[in-house]
Structure formats: structure tokens, C-alpha cells
Amino acid sequence: MSSFDEIVDRTQTPSEKWDKYKGKDVIPTWVADMDFKSPPCVIEALQKRVREGVFGYTAVDDETYDAILAFMKRHYNWEIQKEWLVFTHGVVSSMNIACMAVEGESVMTTTPIYPHFIKAPKHAGREVIAIKMKEENKRWTFDFEAMEAHITPTCKLFMLCNPYNPAGTVFTCKELEQLGAFCLKHNLSICSDEIHADLILNDTAKHIPIASLSPALQECTITLMAPSKTFNIAGLQASFAIIPNTSLRKRFKETMGSMVGGINLLGIIAMKAAYLEGDAWLADLRLYLAENLKLVQAFVAKNPKLKLLNQEATFLAWIDASALHVKSPYDFFLEFGVGLSDGEGFGDKNCVRLNFGTQRTLLKEILERMQKAMDNLKI
């Protein structure tokens, strides 16, 4: 038995995920946090810090910087410098800051996508040029032809999600080089959200930070990363932007000003412990998630009216239910006690997103309930 099989009763503490359907016979499988305890090294470091009992304003310490630098080098062979780091309490805030910090009237991104890729440019008063992802070899990739057709001279920023949420594409070196060439040709900065980078589930895929590909891409990219998805510490609100270009970093920091507070003290403690000592736990987590994904794949394979692409990363499965011809696949499965994410928020109401970052017994129950819904359809 894996430590990830340990059931954690999350109904006893408040959480967005479980509170949404409180008191109802619905298993929540929506928002992107997992039902696993964080690594023991993180829990112990937090306990030790909490015992001190004083929680005053706290800056990020040198050891934490070093832990991040070493993690980036170890996992992505990317040598970053301490000065490039800007800490924020969340990646969504950083996306909003990036959209405000980079000039231009419009922002290009892709769709369907995590909703904040569309919301953040709008908050910044930018028009959104959303290009549909293209399916190729059972995975999503960029439609460069459509991108070339829709780019405008006033567009100055490309918002990239890598690995991709939803559908879990891990972009290859070739795809990223082509995207990089497109952005350089059109003089676009890149805001690359790589929050799911550490959760690669497929041996043949490898995460490559786009900024690590060339000095030119390093200079035009704001990379957003966090330990939150990886080590299940989203509630601790700790993330960082990596911005090598001095003037871009200055604009990012000026935009933050004093409106956006920095990183949470306990978040710093958790991040340091996770990056220093969490590698073995993370390797086990990836194996566990990969096995969970197989269960989801087997369920979809049994139901030809559902479709799943070849998912390479993340614990979020994007299920295309358009062949069901129901008004709302989200409502359809909810009736059978499964609280998925509604694809509508991502740009496709015929899809649902299933969070399989949970104990296998619970995942089996979720899939059994979904199977009942499917069997009911046939009757």
C-alpha cells in the first residue's frame, strides 16, 4: 500500500474543494488541489516553525533562494539567478501583474484554457486573441497558422500554459522553439505559466522551461512557477516569477507596487522544505498519479462516447463528452454524485475536467458513479 492511499477526511476542515458540496452525496473532483497530505518534510518544517509562535513580517531568506536555484538546476537544468526571482502569493496574481506590466493593446493565448488566461488580460484592459488548440496525434498543440493569421502589431504578450491545463500537453523542444520563434518574430513578451511543470506523468515527456531555450527567449519571458500543485500546498500561497530581463522585472515589480502583498511566511517555510527534501516524495507521487490516470483511461476506453487525449502531465483529466449530446455534461454527472469542473469556464461546455489527485479508492468510487451515469444513458 502506498502512503498516498491513506484516506484523509477533508470534510473536517474547511476547504474550497470539499465545502462546495457539503452535506450532499457528491464527491468533489474539481478544483486543482489533491486529497493527499503534503510531504512529511513540509509538515515537520511547518510544525517546527509554528511552535516558535511568532509570525511577524518575514522576508525570503538565502536558504530558500538557494533551494529554488538548486531545484531549477536539478530538475530543468536551468541556471537561474537570485536577482531574477520575484515572489508573489499566487500564480494567478502574477498572471494579472504580467498582463498589466507588459504594454500593448492585446494579449494572445490559446483556448480551451485555465480561465485566468482569459480573465487576466481582460482585467488589464487588454483585448484577448484566443487561438484554438489543434489536436495532433491525440494531443493538443499550437495552431501556428491561426496564430500568424490573427496576430496584430499592437499585441505584445503571449500567455503560455506549459504543461497545458486542461488536457495535460507537455510541449516538446521543437514546439517551444517554434513558439519562441513566433514570439520573437512578432516582438512579443511571453508569460509562461509552468505551475504544473513538476507533475510529468509520462516517461517520454520532459518539461522544458521556454526561457531556458535561448538567451533571446530568456530575455523576453516571465516564467511563473510554484510548489503549490506539486506538493499540495496551494492554501499556503507561495509562488514566484522568474524574470531575467532587468527592465521587464522592474516593470513587473512596479506594477505590483504595494497593491499585491508578498509571499506568506509559512509558504516560504513549506517551499524551502519541499524543494530541499521533497524529491523522493514527488517521484512517488508521480508514479501514483500515473496509475490513477490509467484508471481514468480505462474508464474512458469502456465508454466510446467519451474521449480523452494522451495526457502527459497533471492530475487533471479533460474529458470530451460532446458525443453524449446532453445539455451539460457537468450537470449530467453531478446528478450521479460526481462534482467535476464544468468545461464551460475553460471555453468548452461539452467537456468536463476530472481531478484524479485523490486516493485510489475514492477515484474508483468516482469512476463507478460516472459509469452508472453512462449506463443510465443507454437505457
Q: Which is nearer to ligand PLP, 92 or 97 (CB)?
A: 92
Residues 223-282 that bind ligand PLP (CB under 6 A): 226, 228, 234, 239
* Binding of ligand PLP by 38 (CB under 6 A): no
Residues 284-323 that bind ligand PLP (CB under 6 A): none
What string marks each residue from 178 to 197 as x (binds ligand PLP by CB under 6 A) or -? ---------------x-x--
Residue (120 or 183) nearer to ligand PLP, CB: 120
DSSP class of residue 65?
Answer: H
Distance CA 150, CA 158 (A): 12
Choices 45-53, 86-94, 103-111, 265-273 (CB under 6 A): range interacting with ligand PLP: 86-94
CA 318 to the chain's CA centroid = 13
Interface positions, 100-159, toward ligand PLP (CB under 6 A): 114
Of the pair 195, 354, the CB lying nearest ligand PLP is at 195
If the CB atoms of residues 241 and 373 are measured against ligand PLP, the closer one turns out to be 241
* 342 within 8 A of 313, measured Cβ to Cβ: no
| Minimum separation from the CB atom of position 234 to ligand PLP (A) | 5
DSSP state of 24: S
Closest approach, Cβ 152 to ligand PLP, in A, equals 25
Whole-number minimum distance, CB 224 to ligand PLP, in Å?
7
Task: By CB under 6 A, name the one of 60, 67, 85, 92 that touches ligand PLP.
Answer: 92
Which region, judged by CB under 6 A, interacts with ligand PLP, from 14-22, 89-97, 274-282, 296-304? 89-97
- Strand positions, DSSP E, the chain: 27-28, 85-88, 106-111, 127-132, 134-136, 139-141, 155-161, 189-193, 221-225, 239-242, 307-308, 316-320, 338-339, 341-342, 351-355
Which residues sit opposite 160 in a β-bridge?
A: 192
113: its cell numbers: 484554457
φ/ψ bin of 87: left (φ > 0), alpha (ψ from -120 to 50), beta (otherwise): beta
Residue 160 binds to ligand PLP (criterion: CB under 6 A): no
DSSP string covering 144-188: HHHHHHH--TTEEEEEEESS-TTT-----HHHHHHHHHHHHHTT-
The single-letter DSSP state of residue 208 is -
Residue nearest to ligand PLP according to CB distances in the complex: 90
Q: CB of residue 378 vs ligand PLP: minimum separation in angstroms?
A: 34
CB of 259 to ligand PLP, least distance (A): 16
* 91 near ligand PLP (CB under 6 A): yes
The strands making up 85-88's β-sheet, listed across from edge to edge, are 85-88, 239-242, 221-225, 189-193, 155-161, 106-111, 127-132
How far apart CA 286 and CA 193 sit, in angstroms, is 20
Q: Select 252 or 336, whichever has its Cβ closest to ligand PLP.
A: 252
Number of residues that bind ligand PLP (CB under 6 A): 13
**Nearest one of 169, 199, 163 to 315, comparing CA atoms:** 199
Query: Whole-number minimum distance, CB 16 to ligand PLP, in Å?
Result: 11
Contact residues toward ligand PLP (CB under 6 A) are: 32, 90-92, 114, 161, 165, 193, 195, 226, 228, 234, 239
